[in-house]
Structure 1
């Protein structure tokens, strides 16, 4: 919000000048703008935490059971493919072939925002719904970073990428040996990031690689992974409280007043394509993939969930903020007109998806609340609580005491 207000104020030039300020040594191509540091450096922390969460779920969480993991993973794939098809179809139909580079913008789901909306609404919703959304969002974002590494890497240098294996191995070895001076682990972690950055692959991939290198030691009762949970607990506040907000500050500021008319911006093919892809494409993709997987495989939706719950989750998956903004910059270039249109589409689409999801999930929350109240009152088929019935048989008297 600060970025949007500043970028549309009379002092908007100061906002863009701040994002363009260069900091860092010229060696290793580290003479980067503040906006690039936020996108390449701080988001690596975000993906480190996301990677830890996904790996922990596969080792000790709900994803240990392939039948339970299949549905949200399939939903994530459907939620990537269908929005990309929507985007390409809209852009092609508008004759704007130059914008096809942004096909991956609507494929990702913002974990933090989606879970935040669910947390505000959910007082009686099943726990399985949050698990489904969490798995879908994490897989979405990790597949999104894979897309970035494969399709948005222009100049790949293999030697630094191969050398990155060395500090990555040191990082993993130190963790397995329970290295006491944990803060020294930052040295191989930063070295891994530097080498991945130098290779031409987007540096956030280093965050995922480091997360996958963390050994998953199960706790004695098998309910979790002690080391992974401790690292996740330590770094999540850095990610959610600093890394993502700073990135959002530099990435979300787009000027929508002044210059080009607002109406033409809202009807631009890129904006329309992203909004439709996030709201309609995501919903259809998640629903279709979930239904098809359950219909043609042994994977089954949790018995606690109904299909309207899946609709709510599918709408929440249309909140594509953090990774979508990152892909928009890579696709069109920071400060370009295409990137500005992408930002408007991402903000509008995410807001609309969140609003529609809130409506659906609030209705579902009321239904589950009524069910819980009914269970607490022990309602019979006639709807009358047992405690209020007047035709109940008298309670049995103790043996030999006779009737009261």
Structure 2
């Protein structure tokens, strides 16, 4: 089991984030199905639409509206407002603008028990020989929705020829570029993309940036990122992120956007990292999504990782402790002491089990076969030795870094 760490609570880094139970959301705004905006107008009075651009990709799906506080200056209780509107006969499709975070997580000192935080600090490690990289197969287009991609990583062998790139949205990476001070989750997207690149060598990789350098996004930006992946022709979408939604109704914008994906698109998502069986961890718990838990293979016998979520909604599990990954270069100083990196990291979380499952699906997809069919065949061939963690997809030597 990885050591606990004490880096900052990422939820506290954005003053707009609020909490109700295990759900985090953005204050002062709601998401409304676009067709239901007139109904919400009638309930709340004329609403003010919040848009990020004139060509908002969510037009026709959802509208983001501002909800001001009361005359006394108090903030509107958005969870109660949503619940009251949903309870009306033929109530509008309305929801919170949920917050989502990366899933390099586990127990962490002083942090809310939702996503947790890092199962361990990222650990600087030297490069090492690896086995089991896949043989070339059909060039499946894979979208990694995360913090984006560090262009400096293109010089690494794992991202070099004959590997194919379909385009990358950039990771901000550094809080201080001059000092090369890495953000809390800077480089996370490069690390997850590296798993896909290493184990699906003939795929076409794209990076979609939705998470901040602190590893947080809102539902609007995540939904828009999924649409960008869809419109770019992604056949597999992998997301090492998640959040708990409020009530019994899944996130409005994400439900509509995921419903818009072609039936053959495979969505793979991290199952979360708080050793919980919560059934509403999203998007992993959505029916049809391949949800991925983590297994610890660093001991003498493989076992479920102590931080991994569990439940009968989880599809698969894969190694997720001390995974050896390509990373950025610089100083990460969010733990007990500064750490210096030179492009390699050992990191833990369902974040890194997830892209491995996505990569293996891509690598298994043959000419004329859909990724959905390849996923079904791959998963059905696996055993389930860990009840509540899905079918186990083992990784080859070199996937995890040896314990010190």
TM-score, normalised to structure 1's length? Answer: 0.26
Q: Which has more radius of gyration?
A: 1
The structure, 1 or 2, with the larger RCO (C-alpha pairs under 8 Å, 6+ apart) is 1
Choose between structure 1 and 2: higher helix proportion.
1
Choose between structure 1 and 2: higher strand proportion.
2
TM-score, normalised to structure 2's length? Answer: 0.26
